[in-house]
Every structure is written in structure tokens, then in C-alpha cells.
Amino acid sequence: MDQPTSSPAPSISRRHDLDWVRVCAFGLLVLYHVGMYYVTWDWHVNSPFASHALEPAMMLTAPWRLSLLFLVSGAATAFLLARAQRQAQAGGGRVRFLGARSWRLLVPLLFGMAVVVVPQSYYEVVEKLPGGYHDGFLAFWGRYLRGDQGFCGPEGCLILPTWNHLWFVAYLWVYTVALWLLWRFARPLLERAAPALERRLSGWGLLLWPALALGLARLLLIGRFGSTHALVDDWYNHAQYFGVFLLGFLVARRDGIWNAAVRLRWAALALWLATWAAQAAYMSAYADSDPPQALRLAMRMVWGLDQWAAIVAVLGFARHWAPGDSWALRYLVPAVFPVYILHQTVIVVAAHNLQPLGLAPALEGPLLVVLTFAACFGAYEFIRRVPPLRPLFGLPYRERAAADATAQAGAACSTTSCTAAPPR
């Protein structure tokens, strides 16, 4: 096993690789949600042409893309908290962190629940409510805001209001609060955990131990706690997502672990593709029947290995390629959060209204992708120019103020990523 190289902070001053990882991961999320329209899995609306055909391709990213985002968010939180601590030390005041993060996350979440996601629930009711829904969007919106629980079908009642895809923002805020409490009241424990992790994860242990933990979490919890995204009963997701969020926070400034990801990137890529192929074959073989229980349990461990191997491969290749700063990155980093907030509503609305054309999925799918990116980036161009709208989509009130803050900090920090590494 390689000997760990212990260093409390990375030697570089910016982490553009993590910004690019975040941007690309959210881009994959758009593609994934377009794909959800064409598979047999339950979603808000479903194509008349939905089938199993696209499901193996969906499994390329399904196990790991959100875990990757939570891990990068944890690393960003470490950088942001360190910067807040330095500012407090320089000014002689207390550390101001949680209030700013809460404003950045909760305002878009509440606005998104009240306004942005409403069309998703509306078209879900229109398509899936027995007999349909014919009172129009404005009437539905009023019932939505009142918390009307009367939209019921064979599978139960629609819970309103809802956060739909914005559950990620809610969970990120909850995990940030939990981490802040740990930092305030158990900081020595966190400070001891970081170097201990570096010793364990600076060689092949980087592939072994987190994969084992994720596999065991799935093995022990997924049969008892389904993935609900409802916060209060979502224990399997909390185990995996808060686990990687905390891991990202602890290893953010540990070069030994990041360098191990670079060394293991090819092995991780091979493991990811092998486990993906195994899961695709498994899903195909048992698409319409139940697998043997022993095989089902074994595949839960395979899922954990797939999940972590993909993350190591992505992080390792990103750090190896070391993409630098560019005008594209400076544009995309602040655009990611508004685009994320809007994208699923755009997909649902566009997909429903394209149905009368009867387009084949091979034509309609790429069209949906283009329409979604065009509409979301077009909306971003408008939002970023209107100061009252900016906080509703996770942006500072004034663009110039955001640029000045970035310059003063010597780095660009965003909602789930930060390119600044604190000085030694």
C-alpha cells in the first residue's frame, strides 16, 4: 500500500477541478431527468413511449451523481467555514457562517416550493389523476398553496406543497446545520478525524473502505427505508448523503487523499464500468420478475462499489487533468444553481406540451435537452440582471457585490462548490 503523504492543506490556491466536477454533475442531472420521462420508473409525467430501453444508460449515473454532489458540497463547506473563521479572526468578531448559508439556501428553497415546482405537480395531476384535472393552472396553484391533500389516485394522495427536485437544497441546508453544530461543539473530534482518514484513505483504502460503508448502508437500510426525499423518514439517503458530505468536509484539505484518487483513477474507472455492467445485466434479467433474495442482497453491495468507484474515478481524472480557470467556468459557476432550480419544471412542462406532436423519442429526447438548456440559461441571463430576483435563485443581490466579494476572498465560492483553499 502506498504510504500516505500528510499535509493539512493543499498546496494549490484554487480548486477549479471541483468547480468543473460540480458544473458537469449538474449537467448530467439535466440529462438524467430528461431520461426519467422515457423510462418505466415513477416520475411526475411519463412518455407514451416509456420503456426499459433507456434504463441501462440511466444506471451509468444513477448510483453516484448525487453522492458526488454532496461530497463536493462538503468540501466546499470546509473552505467556506475556514474563510469565515479567518475573517472573524481578522475582525475580532465571531464566526459568521450559518446565517449566510441559510439565506443562500432557504430563500431559493421556499421560493421554489411556492412558485417554481408548482407546474410539476400540476401536470402530474393532469396526467395521473383519475379522470384528469380540468380547472386550470391558477385554480390548482391556489389549492397547492393551501396544502390541499385531495388529489388522490390508486397509489395515494399527492402531498402539497412539495419541494420535488429541490429536496437536494433542503438536505444540503440540514447537513450544513448538522456540520456547523459538530464544528461548534465537537471540533477536536473533527480535527482528529481528518488526519486519521488521510492515513486510511491515501492508498487502496480509498477504494475499499468508503465503498464498503456505502454498500453496507444499502444492504442494511434500503429494504427498510425506501428513498422518499421527504427528510423525516429517508434514513438510507441520510446515511449515504450525509456520510459523503461529512467525508468531503474532512478530506477537503488532505492532499494525500486527493493524490490517491489520481493514482487510482484507472482502477476506479474499471471497477465502475464492471459494476455498472453487472447491474445493467441484473436489471435486464429481472425487469419483470423478482430476483433470488441472496442475489438481491449481493447486488446491494455491488451498488455501493459502483457508487464509490465512479466518484473516485471522476475526482481522480478531474484532479489529474487539472482544468484551470476560464471565461466558461466563470460564467457557469454562478449559473449552475439557477439552472438547477428551473430545469425540472422546464422538462415537465415541455414534455407534456410536446406529447400531442407524437414525436419519436429519438427526436423528442434531444429536443427536450436543447429546450431545457436554452430556456434555463435564457432565464438565468434575465435573472442575473434583475437584483430582486437574484436572491430567489441563490445569487447575491448585486452582481458587482458578488464579484467584489470574490476578489477580496481570492476565490470564487458558490452554493455547492468553492474554488478557494485556505492559506496554510
Q: How far apart are CA 302 and CA 283, in angstroms?
A: 13
Q: Which three cell numbers, joined as nine digits, stand for 253? A: 484539505
260 lies in which domain range? Answer: 16-117+163-409
Predicted pLDDT of residue 4: 37
Task: Give yes or no for a cis peptide into 161 (omega within 30° of 0).
Answer: yes
Specify if 300 maps to a domain: yes
Specify if 31 maps to a domain: yes
Specify if 145 maps to a domain: no
Consecutive 10-residue runs of the chain (424 residues): their mean pLDDT?
40 75 96 97 95 94 97 95 89 84 97 98 94 93 96 88 98 98 95 95 96 97 92 96 98 95 98 97 90 96 98 98 92 97 98 96 97 98 97 89 44 42 30
HEC readout, the chain: CCCCCCCCCCCCCECHHHHHHHHHHHHHHHHHHHHHCCCCCCCCCCCCCCCCCCHHHHCCCCCCHHHHHHHHHHHHHHHHHHHHHHHHHHHCCCCCCHHHHHHHHHHHHHHHHHHHCHHHHHHHHHHHCCCCCCCCHHHHHHHHHCCCCCCEECCEECCCCCCHHHHHHHHHHHHHHHHHHHHHHCHHHHHHHHHHHHHHHCCCHHHHHHHHHHHHHHHHHCCCCCCCCCCCCCHHHHHHHHHHHHHHHHHCCCHHHHHHHHHCHHHHHHHHHHHHHHHHHHHHHCCCCCCCHHHHHHHHHHHHHHHHHHHHHHHHHHHHHCCCCCHHHHHHHHHHHHHHHHHHHHHHHHHHHHHHHCCCHHHHHHHHHHHHHHHHHHHHHHHCCCCCCHHHHCCCCCHHHHHHHHHHHCCCECCCCECECCCC
Predicted pLDDT of residue 272: 98
Specify if 129 maps to a domain: no
Q: How far apart are CA 31 and CA 350, in angstroms?
A: 14
Specify if 144 maps to a domain: no
Q: How far apart are CA 370 and CA 365, in angstroms?
A: 9
Q: pTM score > 0.85 for this model?
A: yes
Predicted pLDDT of residue 90: 82
Domain count along the chain? 1
Specify if 4 maps to a domain: no
Q: How far apart are CA 185 and CA 177, in angstroms?
A: 12
* 3-state SS class at 55: helix
Predicted pLDDT of residue 400: 60
Distance of alpha carbon 260 from its chain centroid, rounded?
Answer: 24
Q: Which three cell numbers, joined as nine digits, stand for 243? A: 456520510
Predicted pLDDT of residue 14: 62
